[in-house]
Amino acid sequence: MTEFTRREWLGSSAATAAALSLGLAPSPLRAAAPATGKQAPGFYRSKLGDYELTQVADGARTFPMPEGFIVNLPKDQALAAAEGAYMPKGQVTIPFNPLVVNTGSKLIVIDTGNGLGAFEATKGAAGQMNANMKAAGIDPNAVDIVLISHFHGDHIGGLKGADGKPVFPNAEIKVPAAEWAFWTDDANQAKANGFNKAQFAGAKKNLDGLGDKITKFEAGKEVAPGITSIATPGHTPGHVSFVIASGNARILVQSDVTNIPSLFLTHPDWQVVFDNDPALAVTTRHKFFDMAAAEKAAIIGYHFSFPAVGHVEKDGSGYRLVPAAWNPTI
Amino acid sequence: MALTRRAALLGSAAAALAPALTITSGWAAAPAAGKQAPGFYRYKVGDVEVTVITDGVIRMKLPETFVSNVKVDEVKAALADAHMSTELFNNTYTPVVLNTGGKLVLIDTGVGEGGFNASKGTAGQFLNNLAAAGLKPEMIDTVVISHYHGDHMNGLIKADGAITFPNAEILVPAREHAFWMDDGEMSRAPAGRMQELFKNNRRVFAGEVMKRLRTYEWDKEVVPGLLAVGTPGHSSGHTSHVLSSGSAKVYIQADVTHVPYLFARHPGWHAFYDQIPDMAEATRRKVYDMLAAEKMMVQGFHYPFPANAYIEKTSTGYHETMVPWNAAI
């Protein structure tokens, strides 16, 4: 057969045996199964040396792309790029993926999601971290350390519950010293406008009353067993990423060096509206991902699609994410 | 002294007096869970709720002849490009359950309880993950089979031979069924894999399974909204299914490609599993050209869970973009 069409296949199948007669008819009386309308619990586990990592989805926000979402790109091109990345027409989806690290002796959370207030405000689309931690069997009371990458609301919004009480009552909250310095400076706040203005108010609200639990760390130091912070400024002044190492295994936790990879990893020079110092963020992005690609490092990205882990490769003038294949066993 | 956790851990007297410390569960190191999350994922296609269910994975040493028409080093290079192991091949299995108008339709079964036991639970996870998704085998109304390879239909029966889905009708492609039940074909089958497949199919398609079995034809709806499309080559009667509801569609391809990072990227590669390799390749190119042109979502049995992707044409083949996980359906 040189060339064949569906019709031909169909035609030749006419010679096959006639349909077998039906034996046992299924009972027609069984009730219809209702659709569940509910997604599976959003957590995912992997091993890193002796450590166990649990990605915990905080959900995602989908919203009409605002003017200036990509600061240095005309909106029509930004919309076309988003549509090319299979986002709903005219919209952007940004997922949020905190991480839990179990070292065997310490339970460590890296970033906290949008918080339970956001859960209500978004009708459950975001702020899912608590529910998904519970599904994963992780007790917030058992968390020893909370590491914060930077002070945007989607990273620190989950430090306190809707009642204002600490969500991780027994945890030391460790924050980048440079980040603390920037966001607690009244002069900086007075100068802020737009996105930053809201973030100053949010940081105050999210951190207020937690003072005695908070300690500050300098970038470049080990901040928890096997976890070292790396200064990756630009997105915010004190923004940090982390390296987690156990045995010979290591993984980079990039935080927000890039926002959604389908736009900003593929086009590292595009500036997302959330970058505080866009030029510095671009420089950091190139430096970080050149290193990650050269090292073939596994990377966790806060705004990657759940389970938010993969590898980054150089691709022309940009990079591409190769998402890790889901592992059904760990 | 300030009441800190450190003080509590050190067992200081002050800490012992603190009422908050009566909650002790938080103090001990939390044990590692050692278990993956439940392997199911939901999405909507129009009014139909699709539940993707992973059956797990079998890892096997990459055979030299895994791709019959290229050297194993090329295969290893492609695996390395995908950041997968170059020594062990990860064979994953991903059945789907459709809830269409209150009827539950399962497409392909996974390797079954026998496969669960043989793999010590790395595969044959379907029933466990089905339960995690809140579904029971007796709730399944219809099982639709794409083709007669063990990872797609061995789950019709349990290890003891009893039927797995007691209330389900079993719908199979007429052409596939005819091929494997044909004694002449069996007598001409080459020794090794093909003969083993015949033997396995005669074992499973017997007894209770046959009593519930009905054949279906290509280009007809198997159940309302689910069109059977002939995609032969991987096996002689291999069948894919297009699910449509309203204007939404998903192409449930079964094995038009095996893992995308080898066979979508290199559609000309002939997998060890393809029964009629040239026909399988022609089918693959035709289907993938269509998926790319129509921007139609594909659900691939051997894609990484949740096994749902869009296809783009590249200069050398195709590239799959996994559909982003939707945290709220």
pLDDT at A80: 97
Interface contact flag, A33 B2, Cβ < 8 Å: no
Whether B197 has a pLDDT exceeding 70, the answer reads: yes
SS (H, E, C) B286-322: HHHHHHHHHCCEEEECCCCCCCEEEEEECCCCEEEEE
Let me know if residue A13 belongs to a domain: no
Report, as an integer, the average pLDDT of B259-270: 98
Whether B9 has a pLDDT exceeding 70, the answer reads: no
Whether A28 has a pLDDT exceeding 90, the answer reads: no
Interface test with A, best of B1, B6, B25, B36 (most A CBs within 10 A): B36
pLDDT at B30: 87
Let me know if residue A30 belongs to a domain: no
- Considering only residues 18 to 57 of chain A, which have any Cβ-Cβ distance to chain B shorter than 8 Å? 19-27, 30-45, 52, 54, 57
Residue of B nearest to A32 (CA): B102
Report, as an integer, the average pLDDT of A281-308: 97
pLDDT at B28: 62
A27 vs B121, residue with greater confidence: B121
Residues of B in contact with A25 (CB under 8 A): 169
Please count the other Cβ atoms lying within 10 Å of the Cβ belonging to residue B247.
Answer: 6
Report, as an integer, the average pLDDT of B216-221: 98
Closest CA to B164 of B133, B198, B140: B140
Let me know if residue A162 belongs to a domain: yes
Identify the band that residue B8 occupies on the pLDDT scale cut at 50, 70 and 90.
very low
Domain B42-322 -> CATH class: alpha beta
Let me know if residue A328 belongs to a domain: no
CATH classification of the domain holding A131: 3.60.15.10
Ranges A18-27, A109-118, B63-72: which has the least confidence: A18-27
**CA–CA gap between residue B172 and residue B178 (Å, rounded):** 10
Residues of B in contact with A38 (CB under 8 A): 42, 329
d(CA B183, nearest CA chain A) in Å: 13
Whether A6 has a pLDDT exceeding 50, the answer reads: no
Instruction: Inform me whether the C-beta atom of residue A266 falls under 8 Å from chain B C-beta atoms.
Output: no
Q: What domain range includes position A93?
A: 41-323
pLDDT at B88: 97
- Considering only residues 3 to 22 of chain B, which have any Cβ-Cβ distance to chain A shorter than 8 Å? 5, 20
pLDDT at B29: 81
Closest CA to B116 of B36, B54, B209, B167: B54
Identify the band that residue B329 occupies on the pLDDT scale cut at 50, 70 and 90.
confident
The three-state secondary structure class of B328 is: coil
- Considering only residues 20 to 79 of chain B, which have any Cβ-Cβ distance to chain A shorter than 8 Å? 20, 23, 25-30, 32-42, 49, 51, 54, 56-57
Nearest to A36 among B42, B175, B323 (CB): B42
Whether A112 has a pLDDT exceeding 60, the answer reads: yes
DSSP-derived letter for residue B165 is S
Residues of B in contact with A22 (CB under 8 A): 169, 212, 214
**CA–CA gap between residue A244 and residue A228 (Å, rounded):** 7
pLDDT at A32: 86
> Total structural domains in chain A?
1
Alpha-carbon torsion angle B181, B183, B187, B192, nearest 10: 20
DSSP-derived letter for residue A59 is E
Interface test with B, best of A39, A96, A107, A108 (most B CBs within 10 A): A39
Dihedral over Cα of B105, B214, B108, B239: its sign: negative
Residues in chain A, total: 330
Closest CA to B224 of B237, B242, B248: B242
For chain A, percent of residues with pLDDT exceeding 70: 91
pLDDT at A15: 34
Using alpha carbons only, what angle is made at residue A158 by residues A155 and A159, rounded to the nearest 5 degrees? 100
For chain B, percent of residues with pLDDT exceeding 70: 91
pLDDT at A162: 87
Please count the other Cβ atoms lying within 10 Å of the Cβ belonging to residue A20.
Answer: 15
Residue of A nearest to B181 (CA): A17
Q: Percent helix, strand, coil in chain A (nearest 5)?
A: 25, 25, 45
Whether B192 has a pLDDT exceeding 80, the answer reads: yes
Beta-bridge partners for B59: B90
d(CA A106, nearest CA chain B) in Å: 6
Closest CA to B159 of B207, B120, B112: B112
Q: In whole numbers, what is the pLDDT of chain A averaged over residues? A: 91
Residue B114 near residue B154 (C-beta atoms within 8 A): yes
Whether B23 has a pLDDT exceeding 50, the answer reads: no
How high is the ipTM of this complex? 0.89
Let me know if residue A204 belongs to a domain: yes
Report, as an integer, the average pLDDT of B239-255: 98
**CA–CA gap between residue A273 and residue A316 (Å, rounded):** 24
Report, as an integer, the average pLDDT of A102-106: 96
Q: In whole numbers, what is the pLDDT of chain B averaged over residues? A: 92
Residue A277 near residue A330 (C-beta atoms within 8 A): no
Closest CA to A329 of B193, B305, B234: B305
pLDDT at B160: 95
Compute chain B's Rg from CA coordinates. Answer: 23
Closest CA to A175 of A151, A153, A197: A151
Whether B123 has a pLDDT exceeding 80, the answer reads: yes
Instruction: Inform me whether the C-beta atom of residue A247 falls under 8 Å from chain B C-beta atoms.
Output: no
Residue A23 near residue B213 (C-beta atoms within 8 A): yes
Instruction: Answer left, alpha or beta for residue A247, where phi above 0 means left and psi between -120 and 50 means alpha.
Output: left
Report, as an integer, the average pLDDT of A167-184: 98
pLDDT at B102: 87
Pairing of strands B226-230, B239-245: antiparallel
d(CA B64, nearest CA chain A) in Å: 23
Please count the other Cβ atoms lying within 10 Å of the Cβ belonging to residue B222.
Answer: 21
pLDDT at B5: 38
Identify the band that residue B33 occupies on the pLDDT scale cut at 50, 70 and 90.
very high
Identify the band that residue A140 occupies on the pLDDT scale cut at 50, 70 and 90.
very high
pLDDT at B17: 36
State the distance between the two ends of chain B, measured CA to CA, in whole angstroms.
Answer: 50
Let me know if residue A34 belongs to a domain: no
Let me know if residue A310 belongs to a domain: yes
